[in-house]
Amino acid sequence: MITVDLVTLIGFLPRLMGGLVNTLLLTLMSLIFATVFGMLLAMGRVYGKAPLTTIIYAYEKIFRGVPLLVIFFLVYLGLGQIGINLLPFTAAILGLALRSSAYQAQIFRSAINSIPEGQNIAARTLGMTKTQSIIHIMIPQVLRLSIPSWSNEFTIVLKDTSIALALGVPELLRVAGQIYAIPKYFDYILPILLIVALIYFIIVLLVNKILGYLEEKYKMAGFDVSVER
Amino acid sequence: MLELKNIHKKYGDTEILKGVTFSLEKGETKVIIGPSGTGKSTLLRCINQLHPPDKGEVWLDGEEITNRDININKIRQKIGFVFQDFNLFNHLTALHNVSIGLEKVKRMEKEEAKKRAQAELKRVGLQNQADQYPAELSGGQMQRVGIARALAMDPMIILFDEPTSALDPELIGEVLEVMQSLAGKVTMLVVTHEMGFARNVADEIIFMENGYVVESGSPMRMFAHPTHKRTGEFLGKIATLYGEHKEE
């Protein structure tokens, strides 16, 4: 006979919220790094020359071809073996950032390539330097064009923070596990996991709503990337 | 004011420009005509050093701009360019398209740049389209924004690279009208197939073929008494095909 009481369940919430804070921290910190680095990688491949372009190509292929869990272990255990000892939290951020940057590099690169070169030429004819053209003409458009794909990447990183559990990072899922690992709370496994799933679901919903609003606000007239009816 | 001396340009192994020489004085409008692929567009891009010539010199206002040591970005502020494909900045309104050069290159105050941009848009008849984005404009409107954008920088000369070739026939007139209104006030070098414009507005027509200037002269002379047979042939054919857009 499974007995679950609401009071106890609600009593778990503060701990779960603590885990959620770590989940959000992991998400935001790895995304910041991944977005900046991804943009640099994209520009490196579009504007750079060999061997830089080849190196970046290899980087993208590798970090998109290896499971996140493997990346986590490489960064945490692998580096640890050669003397680079990272905290689990740091290792998780690094692992998430490395992988996400590879995907974001592709997103930004395809946005850059979709902007006609003529606009860059027009900017140069006004007297802008190459750098000014990139900053004022290229990047604003790249960011706007990337919003839909980037939003998707955001929610992917958010959900994949749960894999950091394997490194012992006290994010949401691990905290939940710590609760129902206690024998007297075995009956609460299902409700707790349902709550965890619900929390993720709500956060993803909220994030999508906010990013959807941004997408509307910043979409470029005439460059609709949504699906046609 | 603008002098081209013996311009040569190669692409790969093919020599596109084989020694082009001519000049423009302030306030003149010169039109370059000729068959496609003869290097007319390449020539314009050699002038503002987008594709620097392999040989030869370009002089602007007494300064040699083919010299690699000069600051080409400063020089480009003096040379306006209007493109066949407009090349407007899609993320900016018409107004901002015109003002961004003033803000970022000439470092004008935002308000001042805005006022100037509004004036230029008015000059090309688009004061009501200031807050519209390029995607919301017709081809003719986009090109006029392109012209306003070039005018705003107060260039010494504006280069037009087949400005109406990508436009629907109905929209060509409005752009040619704007260009005609600039004649005499703005120095213009125009590559075009629009014979009507060439005949009515140009101070001189330059006929190019195979990378050479075949012949040049006043519109009247070029149409009525061309020296070279090929000139007469070409002008005759094109005039029939494209007709005129303004009554003389």
Across chain B, which has 248 residues, the per-10-residue mean pLDDT values are 90 88 92 86 90 90 86 91 94 95 93 94 93 93 95 94 91 91 92 89 91 89 84 78 50
How confident is the model at residue A16, as a pLDDT?
93
* Both structure tokens of A224: 């609709």
How confident is the model at residue B195, as a pLDDT?
86
Beta bridge partners of B80: B158
Q: What is the DSSP string of A178-229?
A: HHHTSGGGGGGHHHHHHHHHHHHHHHHHHHHHHHHHHHHHHPPTT---SPP-
Classify residue B119 by its DSSP letter: H
A96 Cβ neighbours under 8 A, 6+ residues apart = A26, A27, A30, A34, A68, A157, A160, A161, A164
Mutate to test the interface with A, among B74, B90, B102, B154 (most CBs of A within 10 A): B90
* Both structure tokens of A216: 């509307």
3-class SS of residue A87 = coil
Mutate to test the interface with B, among A112, A115, A125 (most CBs of B within 10 A): A125
Distance between A43 CA and the closest CA of chain B, angstroms: 19
Beta bridge partners of B14: B11
* Cross-chain CB nearest to A127 (options B77, B87, B89): B77
- All residues of chain B having their beta carbon less than 8 Å from the beta carbon of residue A139 are none
How confident is the model at residue B247, as a pLDDT?
40
Predicted confidence pLDDT, tens digits, chain A (229 residues): 567 788 888 899 999 999 999 999 999 999 999 999 999 999 999 988 989 999 999 999 999 999 999 999 999 999 999 999 999 999 999 999 999 999 999 999 999 999 999 999 999 999 999 999 999 999 999 989 998 899 999 999 999 999 999 999 999 999 999 999 998 888 889 999 999 999 999 999 999 999 889 888 887 766 655 444 4
* Cross-chain CB nearest to B73 (options A127, A137, A141): A127
Q: Give the burial class of A141: count Cβ atoms within 10 A of its Cβ; 0-12 exposed, 13-18 middle, 19 or more buried.
A: buried
